[in-house]
Amino acid sequence: MDPACFLPSHQFRGSALGLDMYKPPAKTGRTEQQQPKAVEPTRIITDPVTGRAYSKGRLLGKGGFARCYEMTDLSSSQTYAVKVIPHSRVAKPHQREKIINEIELHKDLHHKHIVKFSHHFEDLENIYIFLEHCSRKSLAHIWKSRHTLLEPEVRYYLKQIISALKYLHLKNILHRDLKLGNFFINENMELKVGDFGLAARQEPTDQRKKTICGTPNYLAPEVLLRQGHGPESDVWSLGCVMYTLLCGNPPFETSDLKETYKCIKHVTYTLPVFLSIPAKNLLMGILKRNPEDRLTLEEILHHEFFTKGYIPDKLPPSSCVMVPELNPPNPAKSLFVKVTKTLFGKRKSKVKKPPSEERDEISKLVTGLVKTSICRQLSHKTVEGNEVTPLCGQSPSSSPAETVAEEGSRKSVSRSIRGTTTSTSEVFEDCVTASAVIESAVGLLKNCLSTMPPAERNPASLACHEHFIWVSKWVDYSNKYGFGYQLSNRSIGVLFNDGTHMTLSANWKKVHYNLTNSKHFSFPASAVPEQLQEQMGVLQYFASYMEQHLMKGGDLPSIDEAGHLPLLLLQWVKTDQALLMLFSSGTFQVNFYNDHTKIIFSKPDHSCLLTYINRDRNSYTYKLSSIAELGCSPELQYRLKYILKLLLERADS
């Protein structure tokens, strides 16, 4: 009997239990009171046969048939992910048969990249299935935070999925529901394939199961056409997973389900231009209408996408929410290093322009890397590029402001730019430095936190105040080029990895270039010196993408550009919790990753203002002196203490 045959042909489910583990309930138009209520298990669960007791913890996910809880064995302190299925939900024989099928199949699987089945039991109310607990949730959560992954990350995860699939197929088992939500990540960033609610034994071709089951965006054409399931159907779903991770959405996804099915049946999809050639070729080799024409799992592993591409041995946990800093071999061969040498080499005048083919390659590289990796703050995305290539002698952890070009090279570029007829040059006296901004901020925060009384809420927000410039969008691409940002006055800036800074005015007509904090040049955007064309290209790509695709990070109003001199980003620092940006105006801003709150310190009238942008992107501005006098909410106080700690660490470094 097909485990999914009780479903009507138009219905699809991610598992026999109607559950994506670790997945929060979907929002619908129905109120919580209207939702059918499952019987909540008691706080302590006892196996009626062994007498072993378990403490029920937090809810990990829920679906139509089951809920998944974190549970701890009280005698051994072992933690499990436990599916809890009320008997009332599986009262019909075929429903119970599906659960028995899942248990019998899963408990016989033993592989490094498959979620481990521990044991199961039932009491008067529920059936309990104890599974390996994966603390970092699933690829679906990572995708939700990142939207797109780098090619090395995709290779890392796909290699583990393929390892599990080869094992399953050798045991004549088809998963039949491969999707991001069924790939779980443990504490060590190892992937585990899970949820075998739709899995089935492989049958001879003429006896293959023809029931449509799975997740619509990942269904193979032969499944939709009721031609039966085979291992090739799992390979198809694997291709859809690869596409989704690289491109940000499933290949056949549309707003209309019937149109999606039509696209799948005719294999109609688009390969974005930013994908690498090996990635495109691999996807085209997998997403073939005829199952026999698709690459096998072994052929996929031997494809140049894997054999000629960098695969990390391990990914850092931070990659769950932000782009990781990777260290592929031979970083000195990077194209960007070649560009940097061309721009800032000591013998610039003797260096020939790169051939047109190489210039085209550089242009395509920049286009592709930016499009695949740009961040959108509201969807938790941050960017650091495709494959990390630190500049000469630069450690991955050092910030761009700490990396400076060789003095001789700077002087050479300075003389070259001065020689152009379109540029103007200015030298600023008494320039603000990052250390000065940090020193001032530390003093203000220490004084505020030491004097403020306890309070449960923030003081009244200022109804009207002078507007200030802040960062509304940002792009961290420092492992190849630099850190880009859009200001509230709509100008765009990039602090490059060599310590130079370039700004594009809001109307895209004027460019400001700073060799140092004090040496400034400006020229029309149409007449950028040849020496800076490559940097200008990177800046324009950043600007175009942020303008077209990124959402503003708060409700503060935009302001007109004032004056002809740009606001300089002096230094930026990323921690595992927040991003700190220090500016030449003395303003500094801290963006917190987990809830997208932001705090901005500014001095528009020489009395420090603190602006707090909450998770709903609503902004509130207070005088810092008012907070010191009246106190603030525990939530804001926690952030202020964290910022002070962060600044003190920077001051000591």
Angle, CA of 74, 75 and 79, to the nearest 5°: 55
All residues at 6 or more sequence positions from 412 whose CB lies less than 8 Å from its CB, including other chains: 344, 346, 348
- CA distances (Å), 57 to each of 80, 84, 287, 492, in order? 10, 12, 41, 47
647: three-class secondary structure by DSSP: helix
> Can you say whether the dihedral through the CA atoms of 17, 23, 25, 28 is positive or negative?
negative
Calpha distance 496→557 (Å, rounded): 28
Nearest to 579 by CA among 468, 483, 448, 444: 483
H/E element, 621: strand 619-623
Exposure string of 196-213, with b = 16+ CB inside 10 Å and e = fewer, is bbbbbebeeeeebbebbb
- For strands 471-477 and 501-504, give the pairing: unpaired
> What DSSP line would sit under 375-392, residue for residue?
--GGGT-----SS----T
Cα–Cα distance measured from residue 618 to residue 609, given in angstroms and rounded to the nearest whole number: 16
DSSP state of 358: H
Taking the CA atoms of 315, 318, 323 and 324 in sequence, report the sign of the dihedral they define.
negative
User: Which residues are bridge partners to 569 per DSSP?
Assistant: 583
How far apart CA 201 and CA 170 sit, in angstroms, is 11
**333 CB-contact burial (10 Å; exposed 0-12 / middle 13-18 / buried 19+):** exposed
> Any binding-site annotation on 338?
no
| DSSP 8-state assignment for residue 34 | G
Write the Ramachandran bin of 607: left for phi over 0, alpha for psi from -120 to 50, otherwise beta. Answer: beta
Identify residue 37 by its one-letter amino acid code.
K
Instruction: Tell me how far apart the alpha carbons of residues 371 and 564 are, in angstroms, rounded to a whole number.
Output: 30
Burial bucket for residue 216 (CB in 10 Å: 0-12, 13-18, 19+): middle
Give the three-class secondary structure for 124: coil
Phi then psi for residue 62, to 5 deg, are: -155, 155
Rounded to whole angstroms, the maximal C-alpha distance in the chain is 89
| Catalytic site positions | 177
CA-to-CA separations, 247 to 59, 351, 543, 623, in angstroms, rounded: 31, 38, 20, 44
* Binding-site residues for ATP: 92
